[in-house]
Structure 1
Amino acid sequence: MINDQTKANGFILSSISLGFNTIACLISCIIFLIIIYHLYYNHVKREDKITVVLCGHIYLAIVIYSSMLISMNVRSILGYLAIIIFGMLYMNFLNQALYRLIRIVYSQNRWFLSLKLYIILPIIEIIIITPILLCVLIPLNGVTYLPNDYFCYATFTNIPGVLCAAVVVYMCPLCCISFIYMHITKFIRQQGNIQTLIIKQRQARDLLIIRRILIIVVILLILGIPAVTLVFMFIITGEENPLFARISFFPVNVSQAGLSIALLFSIPQLKKYCSKLTNNKNSDACQSSRARHNTIENNCWYSIIFM
């Protein structure tokens, strides 16, 4: 039986090895691409080509081998990383709720509406969440290799590990998001009779956006239902379903596509800029087509006049 200290040491060694392999892979990949670029455009002298090609072979081998080592070292780390990033998904929705709370309820605090704050905020959160999750999951052996699925993740039969991870990455952010949006909705309804027309229109728009976002939050809440159901089934029956992980991941996988589309239609600013990008591409295509048409027409007139 591997003790907790050995598990921690193994995780640290894998992390350090992953870092060095990533550095080697990136440097080798960049230099290999530079070599290919110079060889393709004949920037290399004839007498230097063989030496450069041989160096390219070496760097290509380093890229391939480092990539394989990364996949070997990253397998266990990915199990922890997947839980952390899943938690960051909910934290980003919490950040969005926090921004709307400050913008609507506490708009006099201009510092909390700073762009720099919301750029740095996810970095601060991931620095805080990562050690909390690792301190919980590593001693509880929360992330293990799943032999039926051939990858590492939190096993649903480890009840303490699953519950601790669920509280940190799932329940706490969702409770905070729900509380914030309820507070915003209550504030808007209380202020309805004492605001100017412009502020009323803005708050009506914010309320519409909040309703759309709440639909997304409900979807996020639904995502955890299959996993929670399977955990309770295991507690009651004591039998582990070999498809535990696959069943739990299926709604998550479906929701990734749904969330990407739902966000586009829920946030007017995002929809506006995406539409603007599409319209710009269409207008550029029309302008280039019109320019080609004018060129052909001018050539035809030139041929008629001078023939």
Structure 2
Amino acid sequence: MMNQIAFVLCLTTFIICSLTCLFSCAILLCVIHHLYHNRLQQKERIIIIHCINIYSLVSAYITIVALFNIRTVLGTLYGHDFNSSWCTFLGYLAPVLIGGIYWAFVNQAFFRLCRVVYPTMRWLQSYQLYIILPFVELMLNCILMSLVLFVHDVVYLPKDYYCFVPFTNVYSMLWLVFNGYGNQIGVLSFIYIRITTFLRRQTNIQTRIVRQRQERDFLIIRRILLVVGVLISLGIPAMGFLMMAFITHEEHPLTFPIFWFFISISMMSICLLTIIFTPQLKKIVMKIIQHNRVIPTNGSLIASIQTRK
């Protein structure tokens, strides 16, 4: 019974991941095309760079998750062995990418912090900074996550047919959780508190236009926190399995199928919420949708007029 449930969960996760990957790649191509074929202001270019960072990381990460789950499906059906050095590398790369996704939201919040609290420091709002920053953060993630490689905790899971850190290895899993999104949540909380205290201390001398811009940036920070909150809430089942493994020293058979299922939903949520909460991106998507609407040809239009007569 457990094997059947796990099989259905893995197959469903693979389908969700495939659709999410196609959707995120399509949005990524549209955003890149918009960036290189339109003359944008610096603020808009930075926002587009944030979107490119998010969707590229989501595409890479969700591809790995899809690969994990299709291996489970094929392994269950045909008993294939996928153990290799490439398998170990993918098991290491997955937490690196999820950490990068959370850092992408930190970069968005940091940009708003600089606009609100440090508007005179122009280099903190430069286009080049937000191009370099994701690569620096990705390198930092690679260094921090490499600890699980050095201690050989990324192992092949024979029941799941891919490599990852088992939940029974609590200390390594906690290390991944802490560096995967613990640090990022701490930085996001600091940014939110800093902007909140700054806005409350503002005097009435400030112009109305500046106040409106700061309140708009503060609203975007709240939206970023809402997205991250959704991601954290979808990670609660994984934390529950981690606590269970710590207490019982055993791994539940449905641990990884349920874990990846909620991960796939969270990645799909990121793709949709990023569009909804980013006006510039939403405008690009709506423009493409309106452009692709079917317009009646002149012949059908003339025929319609003659019919009315």
Taking the aligned partners of 1:188 and 1:275, their CA distance within structure 2 comes to 33
Please state if 1:229 is matched with 2:213.
no
Q: Contact 1:142–1:154 (CA<8 Å) still a contact in 2?
A: yes
Cα gap change, 1:294 to 1:153, in 2 (>3 Å): same
TM-score (norm 2): 0.66
- 1:50 maps to what in 2? none
SS of equivalent residue, structure 1 residue 186: helix
Taking the aligned partners of 1:113 and 1:162, their CA distance within structure 2 comes to 36
Which letter does structure 2 place at the counterpart of 1:94?
Answer: V
SS of equivalent residue, structure 1 residue 171: helix
Q: Give aligned-pair identity as a percent.
A: 39
Please state if 1:132 is matched with 2:153.
no
- 1:115 maps to what in 2? 127
Taking the aligned partners of 1:263 and 1:192, their CA distance within structure 2 comes to 33
Taking the aligned partners of 2:227 and 2:131, their CA distance within structure 1 comes to 22
* Pair member with larger Rg: 1
User: C-alpha displacement at 1:248, in angstroms?
Assistant: 1.9
Q: Contact 1:141–1:161 (CA<8 Å) still a contact in 2?
A: no
* 2:228 aligned residue (217, 220, 223): 217
* 2:286 aligned residue (257, 262, 275): 275
Q: Contact 2:114–2:125 (CA<8 Å) still a contact in 1?
A: yes
Q: RMSD of the TM alignment (CA)?
A: 2.4
Q: Contact 1:223–1:252 (CA<8 Å) still a contact in 2?
A: yes
TM-score (norm 1): 0.67
- 2:111 maps to what in 1? 99
What are the within-5 Å matches in structure 2 for residues 165-244 of structure 1?
Answer: 165-191=176-202, 193-244=204-255
User: C-alpha displacement at 1:208, in angstroms?
Assistant: 2.3
Which letter does structure 2 place at the counterpart of 1:76?
Answer: T
Does 1 or 2 have the higher relative contact order (CA < 8 Å, sep 6+)?
Answer: 2
SS of equivalent residue, structure 2 residue 150: coil
Q: Contact 1:142–1:162 (CA<8 Å) still a contact in 2?
A: no
Taking the aligned partners of 2:158 and 2:112, their CA distance within structure 1 comes to 44
Q: Contact 1:192–1:200 (CA<8 Å) still a contact in 2?
A: no
Cα gap change, 1:292 to 1:152, in 2 (>3 Å): farther
Which letter does structure 1 place at the counterpart of 2:213?
Answer: R
Please state if 1:146 is matched with 2:157.
yes
- 1:45 maps to what in 2? none
User: C-alpha displacement at 1:278, in angstroms?
Assistant: 2.2
Taking the aligned partners of 2:245 and 2:134, their CA distance within structure 1 comes to 35
What are the within-5 Å matches in structure 2 for residues 19-30 of structure 1?
Answer: none
SS of equivalent residue, structure 1 residue 138: helix
User: C-alpha displacement at 1:295, in angstroms?
Assistant: 8.8
Q: Contact 1:140–1:160 (CA<8 Å) still a contact in 2?
A: no
Number of positions where the alignment pairs a residue of Structure 1 with one of Structure 2? 224
Which letter does structure 2 place at the counterpart of 1:197?
Answer: R
The answer for unaligned runs of 5 or more in structure 2 is: 1-81
